[in-house]
């Protein structure tokens, strides 16, 4: 059952929230051994939350918008009673969290039912979720391939229909990459839109949180439930709620929609370009737009990421580097060796860069680009080729996402299924100006209604 069917069945009394919860837990237990999306399940808590929804319905109370909907969270979100692993071996030594992350609290208040925590790249530093400590998460559409990362468990769990909704984080593309490779819907909100309180950080000046879902409705409902100011998170800049759900049916008539060329065509394979072209035809977009300084932005994002990420883990990198993920420890160490001047120059560039990007939206309401350069490669792939040029696989999966998140723009990743990918998906980014998530979701809904973008049944 998808999000809409679950919510309707529970609201009508056709099914109880407890039934839906038990079915989700059974599905996870039966199939996750092959996919490895989950690092923990929270069965006792889930059943208690589902029973609370059923009790409200029995009393004749109005149900909240996500009543009974099962969901899971990347294991960098605090969940009361669980240790927040952040994909690491070192964090196993930490005590269990005393309370939920704020976004988990808000989803619980909206009636959603938490069923577990999800696998990820260690400390969110990666695009493949080939986690040495907890095992690689496999792509549900071909288990020899990666699920993407760093929110790989979040993408795979939705694509495998284990849960209709998950939460992930996106610093340089970590929601959009797994959404693209797994064929799910993903939303990276505006930087500062959603509170990060109660989550394990990676790069404070770049970290975003957001949902992955089986439908645009699922994205919008979760996004609306999680919105709101948080005076205890100085990085949360949202002063008011801007509901997205009511505008989903408005369509894209009158919107000025462009297609990113230049860097975003040069670093995309033929199937990735075909996916964008198909979305563009559906939305009536014809004009090519050049995004400013995309390559420089990606380079600056690498510098900021390495510097801030390494600084966070400096004590452990000094005394126990052998306990870090082998696939990322050298990048953390290199971040410690970067000159401070590099970091400061990258941040100064970012301020000017955001002004250039924001100027684009004086002429365009929405811009389209591929989310990943290729469809999911095999687990263990070291190099990929894009238009005759070889790239190291793990960082290259973020080639097309990093320049966008460095500007802080909201993005929906829409799942398309172009030919010549062996039946694998590639996502398309729907990009709007900061604080305009509703436009991304409107366009995503238009693609969904047209059948251009969809979850695979």
3-state secondary structure of 138: strand
Residue 322, judged by CB atoms within 10 A of its CB (0-12, 13-18, 19+), counts as exposed
The reply to whether 88 belongs to the active site is no
Burial class (CB in 10 A: 0-12, 13-18, 19+), 131: buried
In the chain the first and final C-alpha atoms are separated, in Å, by 10
State the Cα–Cα distance between residues 113 and 128, nearest whole angstrom.
27
Name the phi and psi angles at 216, rounded to 5: -65, -35
CA separation for the pair 381, 310 (Å, rounded):
25
Burial (CB < 10 A; 0-12, 13-18, 19+), residue 64, is middle
Phi and psi, residue 358, nearest 5°: -60, -30
Place of tokens 């808000």: 106
Cα dist from 237 to 20, 66, 230, 431, whole Å: 36, 25, 8, 19
Residue tagged active-site, from 74, 151, 154, 307: 74
Specify the long-range contacts of residues 280-286, CB closer than 8 Å, at least 24 apart: 280/368, 282/446, 282/447, 282/450, 282/452, 283/252, 283/255, 283/257, 283/366, 283/368, 283/443, 283/446, 283/447, 284/252, 284/257, 285/257, 285/258, 285/259, 285/366, 285/368, 286/259
Residue 307 is a catalytic residue = no
Q: How far is CA 297 from the centre of its chain?
A: 20
- Residues 222, 66: Cα–Cα separation, whole Å: 8
Residue of 150, 180, 195, 328 with catalytic role: 150
Instruction: Give the CA distances from residue 353 to residues 188, 239, 346, 347, 420, in Å, rounded to whole numbers and listed in that order.
Output: 19, 24, 10, 10, 36
CA distance linking residue 226 with residue 126, whole number of Å: 26
Which of 88, 151, 154, 174 is catalytic? The answer is: 174
The closest of 150, 163, 218, 161 to 186, measured between CA atoms, is: 218
CA angle 40, 42, 43 (to 5 degrees): 125
- 74 an active-site residue? yes
Q: Residue 268 corresponds to which tokens in the numbers above?
A: 């995309």
CA torsion sign, 225 to 228 to 231 to 233?
positive
Helix (H, G, I), strand (E, B) or coil at 265: helix
Do the beta carbons of residue 81 and residue 41 sit within 8 Å? no
Show which residues are catalytic.
74, 150, 174
């Amino acid at each position: 059952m998808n999000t809409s069917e679950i919510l309707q069945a529970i609201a009508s009394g056709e099914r109880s929230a407890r039934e839906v919860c038990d079915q989700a837990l059974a599905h996870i237990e039966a199939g996750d051994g092959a996919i490895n999306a989950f690092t923990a399940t929270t069965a006792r808590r889930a059943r208690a939350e589902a029973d609370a929804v059923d009790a409200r319905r029995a009393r004749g109370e109005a149900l909240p918008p996500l009543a009974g909907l099962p969901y899971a969270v990347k294991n960098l979100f605090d969940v009361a009673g669980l240790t927040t692993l952040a994909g690491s071996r070192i964090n196993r030594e930490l005590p269990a969290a005393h309370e939920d992350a704020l976004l988990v609290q808000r989803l619980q208040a909206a009636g959603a039912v938490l069923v577990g925590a999800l696998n990820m790249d260690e400390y969110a530093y990666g695009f493949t979720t080939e986690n040495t400590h907890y095992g690689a998460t496999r792509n549900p559409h071909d288990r020899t391939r990666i699920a993407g990362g760093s929110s790989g468990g979040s993408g795979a769990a939705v694509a495998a229909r284990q849960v209709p909704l998950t939460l992930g984080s996106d610093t340089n593309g970590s929601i959009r990459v797994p959404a693209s490779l797994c064929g799910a819907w993903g939303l990276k909100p505006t930087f500062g839109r959603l509170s990060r309180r109660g989550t394990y950080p990676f790069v404070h000046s770049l970290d975003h949180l957001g949902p992955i879902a089986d439908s645009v409705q699922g994205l919008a409902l979760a996004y609306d439930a999680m919105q709101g100011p948080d005076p205890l998170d100085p990085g949360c800049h949202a002063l008011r709620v801007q509901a997205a759900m009511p505008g989903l049916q408005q369509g894209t008539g009158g919107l000025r929609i462009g297609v990113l060329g230049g860097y975003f065509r040069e670093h995309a394979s033929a199937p990735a370009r075909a996916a964008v072209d198909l979305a563009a035809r559906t939305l009536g977009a014809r004009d090519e737009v050049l995004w400013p300084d995309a390559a420089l932005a990606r380079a600056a994002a690498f510098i900021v990421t390495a510097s801030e990420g390494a600084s966070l883990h400096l004590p452990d990198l000094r005394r126990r580097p052998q306990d870090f993920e082998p696939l990322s420890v050298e990048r953390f160490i290199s971040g410690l060796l970067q000159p401070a001047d590099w970091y400061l120059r990258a941040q100064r560039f970012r301020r000017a860069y955001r002004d250039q990007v924001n100027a684009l939206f004086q002429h365009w309401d929405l811009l389209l680009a591929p989310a990943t350069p290729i469809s999911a490669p095999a687990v263990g792939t070291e190099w990929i080729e894009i238009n005759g040029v070889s790239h190291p696989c793990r960082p290259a999966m973020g080639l097309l996402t990093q320049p966008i998140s460095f500007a802080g723009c909201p993005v929906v990743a829409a799942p398309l299924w172009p030919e010549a990918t062996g039946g694998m998906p590639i996502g398309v980014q729907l990009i709007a100006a900061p604080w305009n998530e509703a436009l991304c979701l409107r366009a995503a809904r238009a693609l969904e209604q047209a059948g251009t973008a969809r979850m695979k049944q």
